[in-house]
Copies of this chain bind each other. A is one copy, B any other.
Amino acid sequence: MLSEDTKTVLYNMLSKLATLPAEAIRPEMKLFGRDLALDSLSGVELVTWLEQQFGITLEDLDVDLSALDSVGSLLRFINGQISERWTGQLEKVAAAARLKEGRFGVEQVLLHIREHPGATSRELAAWCSLPTPTIAALRKELHQAGLVGKEGKGAFLSPKGEALLETFYPSWAGVSASAPEPYGRARQSPLFAELTERCRALLRHRPPADTQLDQAKCLPETAAARALLALENGLLAGRRLAFLGDDDFTSVAVAVLGDMLAEHQAAGPAAITVLDIDERIVNTLTELAEQHSWPLLAYGHDLRRPLPADLLHRHDGFFTDPPYTVTGARLFVSRGVEMCRPEGFTAFLSFAPKGPDEMLAVQADMARMGLYLREIKPGFNRYEGGSLWGNQSHMLVYSSTTKARPLLTTNYEGQLYTAEFRQPTLRQR
The answer to whether the Cβ of A154 comes within 8 Å of any Cβ in the partner chain is no
Known: A129-B389, A376-B375. A360 touches B401 (CB 8 A): yes
Q: Which chain A residues (343-368) contact chain B, with CB distance < 8 Å?
A: 352, 354-360, 363-364, 367-368
CB of A352, distance to nearest CB on chain B (Å):
6
Known: A128-B390, A378-B179. A372 touches B401 (CB 8 A): no
- Cα–Cα distance between A181 and B128 once the two chains are bound (Å): 20
Assess whether B392 is in contact with A360, with CB atoms less than 8 Å apart.
no
Assess whether A373 is in contact with B378, with CB atoms less than 8 Å apart.
no
The answer to whether the Cβ of A388 comes within 8 Å of any Cβ in the partner chain is yes
- Cα–Cα distance between A108 and B80 once the two chains are bound (Å): 47
- Cα–Cα distance between A394 and B378 once the two chains are bound (Å): 18
Assess whether B126 is in contact with A399, with CB atoms less than 8 Å apart.
no
The answer to whether the Cβ of A28 comes within 8 Å of any Cβ in the partner chain is no
Interchain CB contact (< 8 A) of A357 among B100, B183, B352: B100
A369-410 vs B, Cβ < 8 Å mask (1 yes, 0 no): 011111110110000001011111110000111110000000
A389: chain B residues within 8 A (beta carbon): 125, 129, 131
- Cα–Cα distance between A399 and B378 once the two chains are bound (Å): 15
A99: chain B residues within 8 A (beta carbon): 355
Interchain CB contact (< 8 A) of A363 among B363, B375, B379, B402: B363
A372: chain B residues within 8 A (beta carbon): 356, 359-360, 363
- Cα–Cα distance between A367 and B365 once the two chains are bound (Å): 9
Interchain CB contact (< 8 A) of A131 among B128, B360, B390: B390
Assess whether B180 is in contact with A354, with CB atoms less than 8 Å apart.
no
Known: A354-B100, A367-B367, A400-B356. A390 touches B130 (CB 8 A): yes
Q: DSSP class of A's interface residues: helix, strand, loop or mixed?
A: mixed
A354: chain B residues within 8 A (beta carbon): 100, 131
The answer to whether the Cβ of A132 comes within 8 Å of any Cβ in the partner chain is yes
A190: chain B residues within 8 A (beta carbon): none
The answer to whether the Cβ of A421 comes within 8 Å of any Cβ in the partner chain is no
The answer to whether the Cβ of A208 comes within 8 Å of any Cβ in the partner chain is no
Interchain CB contact (< 8 A) of A133 among B132, B388, B392: B388
A130: chain B residues within 8 A (beta carbon): 390
Known: A181-B182, A390-B129, A392-B126. A360 touches B367 (CB 8 A): yes
Assess whether A367 is in contact with B364, with CB atoms less than 8 Å apart.
yes
The answer to whether the Cβ of A101 comes within 8 Å of any Cβ in the partner chain is yes
A101: chain B residues within 8 A (beta carbon): 355-356
Please give me the residue from chain B that is nearest to A386 by CB atom: B122
In the complex, 10 of the A-B residue pairs with CB atoms within 8 angstroms, ordered by the A residue number, are A126-B391, A129-B352, A129-B392, A131-B388, A179-B378, A182-B182, A356-B401, A357-B402, A363-B373, A364-B367
